[in-house]
Amino acid sequence: MRSTYCLFIGLLVAMATAENPAPQESTPLADVNSEFALELYKTLHKDHPENIFFSPFSISTCLAMTYLGARNDTAQQMSHVLRFNKLNQTDFHERFHHLLTQLHHSDRPYTLKTANRLFGQNSFEFGQKFLDETSRHYGAQLAPVDFHGNTEGARQTINDWVEEQTENRIQEIMEPGFLSPETVLVLVNTIYFKGSWESPFYTSDTMLNSFHVSPEEDVQVTMMYQDGMFKFGRDENLKCQILEMPYKGKHLSMVVVLPDKIDGLNAIETSLTPELLRRWQNSMVKEDVGILMPKFKLVQDFGLSEKLSEIGMPDLFGTDADLSGMVGSRDLHVIGSRGLHVDALLHKAFVDVNEEGTEAAAATAGDIVLSGPAHEFDADHPFLFFMKDNETNSILFMGRLVRPEGTTTRKDEL
């Protein structure tokens, strides 16, 4: 067995090629989703210097549903960050529908499923066009809940649905107290995958071995080993190896990128582009490879509002948001200038890699709330007040309040 180390850029689930690989053509939607995925990865990496695992597909899908209701500057910012502006807008959502349909195959030797759902305030009138399009393109039906009167009950309903769709792997995507009575809509996407390796690792070859976290630190972890024919490549410019390990049926694969140096990952990460991924994929050939890699299990969650604002879509998460495309004519008049905005975008992901294969799940939820008033008036310190006659504008009474009646405690008595 070779002694080596493994560092992961991520789990790139890709379509496996035939025995004699030909250049792979990705779809325009896959290209723009990859651009967004890599930019978000680099942004998340700033605050997560060690492990990262997430589903860019889940995040893109949830935001694509949100995009159906976005208008004006909000829509333009989302389109730019998500790269939707690079696609033909007349059939953009049809492309997403086609991609979602392509992923579902009940006759294949793995499980891969996605689901979308809208959880909406039962007293709120949503725009019919928005509901029709989220249903037609994303299969997202509206489930009425009562955020106003039973906030915690609505939260539990959403969590239960996410757990069911992800085989209980994503639990408590929304913690107690997360939602508020101001919530109007929660958009949710889930994705779940479970597949066995085409060539499983033998448990008899699994053993403790050193994993080099950095040039200065080693840890002992459970490592798997096997050797066989796998698609393999090298990038001499970036000094790394690329390995593709197919899942049973060879329709899906895990691609692992391993830098030559223990501390060589950063140089690769800064160079990541969809074109580089395609070049790696198309340059690999089948060779005899001895694979040593750790068993691992990760559960990670991210609040994405700040990160997505940072890379170019701040309006969505503040009072400048324009999500008027979600609102029906009655409530568009009622809410007036307050409007809606995404209060938080949550993402939680799970992965388990072992000798048999891989199980992975993720969920993304956007909490859309009624925006607060444009100004806050917090009368929590001394103020003046007047009582006047509005017809004559005469001041009838006037005063100041320094200590409200019944509050006699001084600071020095606390």
Are 304 and 408 part of one and the same domain? no
Whole-number Å distance between alpha carbons of 397 and 386: 6
Are 90 and 200 part of one and the same domain? yes
Are 172 and 244 part of one and the same domain? yes
Q: Write out the residue range of the structural domain in which residue 404 sits.
A: 383-413
Structural domain count of the chain: 2
* Predicted local distance difference test score (pLDDT) of residue 29: 86
Query: pLDDT tens-digit profile of 391-410?
Result: 666 656 666 676 776 544 44
Are 262 and 393 part of one and the same domain? no
Whole-number Å distance between alpha carbons of 357 and 196: 4
Are 59 and 155 part of one and the same domain? yes
- Cβ contact 355:203 at 8 Å: yes
Q: What average pLDDT score do residues 223-242 get?
A: 92
Whole-number Å distance between alpha carbons of 312 and 35: 14
Whole-number Å distance between alpha carbons of 244 and 232: 7
Are 295 and 319 part of one and the same domain? yes
Are 32 and 81 part of one and the same domain? yes
Q: What is the CATH number of the domain that holds 346?
A: 3.30.497.10
Q: What average pLDDT score do residues 57-78 get?
A: 94
Q: What average pLDDT score do residues 200-216 get?
A: 91
Full-model pTM: 0.86
Are 155 and 118 part of one and the same domain? yes
Whole-number Å distance between alpha carbons of 362 and 76: 27
